[in-house]
Chains A and B, each alone.
Chain A
Amino acid sequence: MPKPEPEPEFDATRLLSLAKARDTRRAYARSLAEKYQTAREERQDVTRRLALARQNADLHRHGFRAESDAQIALLEAQERELTSRLYEIQAEQDCIVGEASEAASLFKSCLDFAHGRGLPIPAQLVEQAKPRNFAPLGAVGGAA
């Protein structure tokens, strides 16, 4: 009677979920960077409008005073809110960038392990698993 095949110890398809975890975090880090950029531009705009409102308030010190004071207060509140939002995004960004880097490092060590053991690398990851060879300078364009 033939001996049953030993059960496999490792499952290289698990690399897919590791790659997904890495990519999700990278994508989130990118979206946070965009969010930060947008909030920064918004704050720059509010700061510019605030400076303008203060200038105008100086110009008509007697008429429309109440209106311009209210506008300045509103813009100051907006500026504070945007500043605190920027800090929040930055803190979240620091956290997710760390997580993305950890996920990438774990994926790399697992990929190396899978290579070392000769495990079949999932087709979706074959491209990433290829060793990167850099052609020497001047070699691009093929042989003459």
Chain B
Amino acid sequence: MIGGILKSLGKARTATAEGLDALDGLREAIAQKRMEITALHRAPLPIAAALARFDAWADQHATVAIDSLGIDRLLDPSAMRGIELPIGPISANAGPDTRPAVDALLGLVLLVARDQVRKTLAGQLSDLTAGKETLTDAERARLIGEVEAQLRQAEAMEETAVRSLEESGVAVSRRADADPSIVLATNSALARLAG
């Protein structure tokens, strides 16, 4: 009889150890999924998308530059001055604000040498992204959605394991950052999520 009790105690101990091991494994998987999501958020855009951003930026600077020069003065027969680089208001402490003039010059440079700048940037961007996975916004959203679903499933499995250990009398600490929608889920909802 004592042998039987010892045997079932041994079995219970093994089951608890297995449950705790499984929980550790799930927590590692959760940490892994979170890292995957962070990596997906940080994955660079493809070079084409980056150059499209450059184009939009260059367009805006060139437009602002031309608008800031006061070219209408060239049409004014009574104008005393030609076009000028814009200088901001002069402050007593810091002197004249040259930022608008610098912006205008940058816009003019982009207007005349945009293709060369673009080509140089494309080469640099290609070096920066060498060996890295690039993602468009749509690809990023799709992949993040997929990994988030896997994360949610792993979290549901973790909560299932915690409840099962608790039912067998083993006190297990939940993660402080556990998702409340999982922790408060009914058993049936949890089973659906865990799949």
Same complex: yes
Partner among A15, A24, A103, A105 whose Cβ is within 8 Å of the Cβ of B184: A15
Tell me, yes or no, whether A39 is within 8 Å of chain B by CB. no
Q: Is the CB of A21 within 8 A of B173?
A: yes
Q: Which of B171, B185, B187, B189 contacts A21 (CB 8 A)?
A: B171
**B178-A10 in contact (CB<8A):** no
Interface centre among A8, A9, A99 (most CB of B within 10 A): A9
The count of chain A contact residues (Cβ–Cβ below 8 Å) is: 24
B132 CB within 8 Å of chain A: no
Please name the residue on chain A nearest to B176 by beta carbon.
Answer: A102
Cβ-defined contact, A10 with B184, below 8 A: yes
Contacts of A10 in B (CB 8 A): 181, 184-186, 189
- Asked if B186 contacts A102 (CB within 8 A), the reply is no
Q: Indicate if B4 sits at the interface (CB-CB under 8 A).
A: no
Q: CB within 8 A of A9: which of B175, B176, B178, B189?
A: B189
Q: Which of A12, A102, A112, A119 contacts B173 (CB 8 A)?
A: A102
In the complex the two chains form, is A11's CB within 8 Å of B185's CB?
Answer: yes
Are A114 and B184 in touch, CB under 8 angstroms? yes
Q: A106 near B176 (CB under 8 angstroms)? A: yes
Q: Which residues of B contact A11 (CB under 8 A)?
A: 184-187
CA distance A78 to B173 in the complex (A): 35
* Interface assignment of A7: CB less than 8 Å from any CB of chain B: yes
